[in-house]
Amino acid sequence: MRQGEAEVAAWMRTVVLKKDRHNVFMRTLPLYLPPGMRPLEVVRIESDGSRKPSLEDAKWLVAEVGVGRRSRSPIQIDFDARTSELDWYRELLSGLKAEGVDVSITALASWCIDEPWFAPHRSSIREVVPMLYHMGPHASTYMRRIHKQGDLANPCRGTIGLSTDEIPAWRPPAHTIYLFHTKRWTREAFDDVCARLFR
């Protein structure tokens, strides 16, 4: 990959929420990028589904996810929130916005077919990335509905996430495509997926 061909989103940390405790796991593997390229930092949130601490009692979370970073550049949050966790997730996004963090989110395909839960709070989110891969047993149902509609729900339009091992025959229109690669990126892998995407 050469500077200007693509940008990079890289996982940098995972925040694990379990009961009343949290753990943070930082990236340990080196990240090799072209000179001058700054990656979009991805923060993964994982939860055991138990009751979440209120953000008033958990300022550490806002700091851990966004404010405590060395860079003030945008971040992307990857959180497969359960229905019971969506109100808490809205609070987190609002808290990050209030602290001046420029945040985007990945989104389950199921969030982006009808009216997304985050639609009233879309102004708090820089970018929504529907992840159209590894969608489980309902994948074909989701893709048929999106195909029938011709696009995703309005707050999710313009950006999609795909995997190099699951390029769909049809995909909704997008000006930005995020690509997840199950192996190490190489020049050959990058050229191959570009040929499959843009043939």
Architecture of domain 9-197: Alpha-Beta Barrel (3.20)
Of residues 159 and 2, which shows the higher confidence score?
159
| Cα angle value 35/37/40 (rounded, 5°) | 150
Three-state DSSP state, 2: coil
| Minimum mean pLDDT range among 7-11, 53-57, 151-155, 193-197 | 53-57
Helix or strand or coil: residue 128?
Answer: strand
Beta carbons of 67 and 60 less than 8 angstroms apart = no
What's phi and psi for 41, nearest 5 deg?
Answer: -80, 125
Reported as a single tens digit per residue, the pLDDT across 168-197 is 989 999 999 999 998 888 999 999 999 999
pTM: 0.88
**The CA-based dihedral angle spanning residues 177, 29, 73, 86, taken in that order and rounded to the nearest 10 degrees:** 70
Question: Ranked by mean pLDDT, which of 14-18, 27-31, 104-108 comes out on top?
Answer: 104-108
Rg of the chain over all Cα atoms, to the nearest angstrom: 17
Question: Residue 159's CB: how many other CB atoms inside 10 A?
Answer: 19
Question: Domain limits of the chain?
Answer: 9-197
Nearest in space to 51 (alpha carbons), one of 84, 81, 25, 24: 84
pLDDT over 70 (residue 49): yes
For residue 149, the Cα-to-chain-centroid distance in whole angstroms is 23
The band of 121, judged by pLDDT with boundaries at 50, 70 and 90, is confident
